[in-house]
Amino acid sequence: MVGSSEENNPNGNPDPNPPSEAAAEAEAEAPPESSIEALARKVQETLSLGGKRHRFWETQPVGQFKDLGDSSLPEGPIEPPTPISEVKPEPYNLPAPYEWTTCDMEDERTCDEVYALLTNNYVEDDENMFRFNYSKDFLQWALRPPGYYRAWHIGVRVKATKKLVAFITGVPARIRVRSDVVRMAEINFLCVHKKLRSKRLAPVMIKEVTRRVHLENVWQAAYTAGVVLPTPITTCRYWHRSLNPKKLIDVGFSRLGARMTMSRTIRLYKLPDSPATPGFRRMELRDVAAVTRLLRDYLAQFAVAPDLDEADVEHWLLPRDDVVDSYLVESPETHEITDFCSFYTLPSSILNNQNYTVLKAAYSYYNVATKTPLLQLTNDALIVAKRKDYDVFNALDVMHNESFLKDLKFGPGDGQLHYYLYNYRLRNPLRPAELGLVLL
């Protein structure tokens, strides 16, 4: 249930590809083309060339390329649930040297092992300059939401040494698709040790997490990938806003623009010292109910979005140092909570650089603007991120984010992020602006 393969960087989520001048120029010159049109064109080219077959995914209950745009197919579950008694009771077979393990993320030693595996083997950019470096605090936050199942945190060990060499996870979620709220698993962190990428462990790991999810009577899932598989429900792009342009240029994340000096670039990205919005402050526990109401009202407009209650909001959005930050606007007159913004922290290791080892990145999460313009609210978020020494602020072009990206000096990244649903068909792909879901 996760979009990845061992031939590509196992990618549970955001592509750390930096922006390029070529991407920016292409963005400026290309005629507007929706991601749906682009995907359809790409699929047609692939099919006409007798292109790459997805041996595993063509056997799974996912939207298939050949069905794109077929209006006779119903939306909703592709296969009905089967009785739990018919779900395979024992784990799938691994190659002889390996064994399954359930990873207890509350156990410090296990958490250390997972952290080490991901830090050394997870998503890298195409030039092998940056690799995601999820902190242990982040992993414990991401993998232990309300009602989580420890059995869905799955590892593979070498029998002889007990070394952890592969990992995949699921967490429970309620996701609304159009008018239906569906119990799903969000699948993430598919990672196989670099030396084992030829062993084709990924398909058996995906089948095993699917089996364990089915044992809890959950039959649908959501996941993302940086590669095209059958078949994205939408395709998004990451945009990057420089906060520390000198460092970003020094490490090769971005380049000095044509006819630009370093001092002009630093001036271009300079931000005010403090937020502009009266009543802008950090979220506190007492705000959970108000933020939940704001978010539920806001997310109702999108075709696919999480169905959040107060327990979810407390877990996912209450600030945790160096994990997730949330800010809101409290009216100085009425004390009503009118606006909300949030971002999570996902650093990358900087590979092969003598001066720097870590790139500190903020990722836009959920934002709701009712009284404050979204552009102003996001600018305030940029200001607090800069004050907290983030180097770059990243945002997907989902929800209403496109409305502020260019005005706030975000540049388009090279990579795309494809969203998928398992065992749930949408007849037509969505535009990024119709998606109200951010997966970590």
> Same domain for 243 and 326?
yes
The CATH number covering residue 316 comes to: 3.40.630.170
**pLDDT at residue 7 in the model:** 33
Burial degree of 409 (CB within 10 A; 0-12, 13-18, 19+): middle
> Same domain for 289 and 190?
no
The three-point CA angle 294-299-304 to 5° equals: 160
Q: Taking residues 397-416, what's their average pLDDT? A: 96
For 348, the domain range is 238-415
Give which of 23, 9, 11 is closest to 254, Cα–Cα. Answer: 23
**pLDDT at residue 284 in the model:** 98
Long-range contacts of residues 109-117, Cβ cutoff 8 Å, at least 24 apart: 111/136, 111/139, 111/140, 112/136, 113/155, 113/164, 114/139, 114/155, 114/164, 114/167, 115/139, 116/164, 117/164, 117/165, 117/166, 117/167, 117/191, 117/193
pLDDT tens, 58-79?
889 999 888 887 888 999 999 9
pLDDT tens, 92-148?
999 999 999 999 999 999 999 999 999 999 987 778 899 999 999 999 999 999 999
Cβ atoms of 345 and 361 within 8 Å: the answer is yes
In a domain, 196, yes or no: yes
* Range list of β-strands (E), 144-265: 153-158, 164-177, 180-192, 220-225, 234-242
Q: Indicate the pTM of the whole model.
A: 0.90
413 in helix, strand or coil? strand
**What is d(CA 146, CA 215) in angstroms, rounded to the nearest whole number?**
18
Q: Taking residues 255-280, what's their average pLDDT? A: 96
Known catalytic residue at 440: yes
> Same domain for 247 and 165?
no
424: left (phi over 0), alpha (psi -120 to 50) or beta: beta
**What is d(CA 272, CA 384) in angstroms, rounded to the nearest whole number?**
10
Amino acid in position 222: A
pLDDT tens, 42-54?
554 544 444 456 7
**What is d(CA 248, CA 102) in angstroms, rounded to the nearest whole number?**
38
> Same domain for 40 and 173?
yes
> Same domain for 301 and 368?
yes
Give strand pairing partners of 238: 396
> Same domain for 319 and 182?
no
Q: Which uninterrupted H or E stretch holds 324?
A: strand 324-330
> Same domain for 175 and 289?
no
Give which of 403, 393, 407 is closest to 433, Cα–Cα. Answer: 403
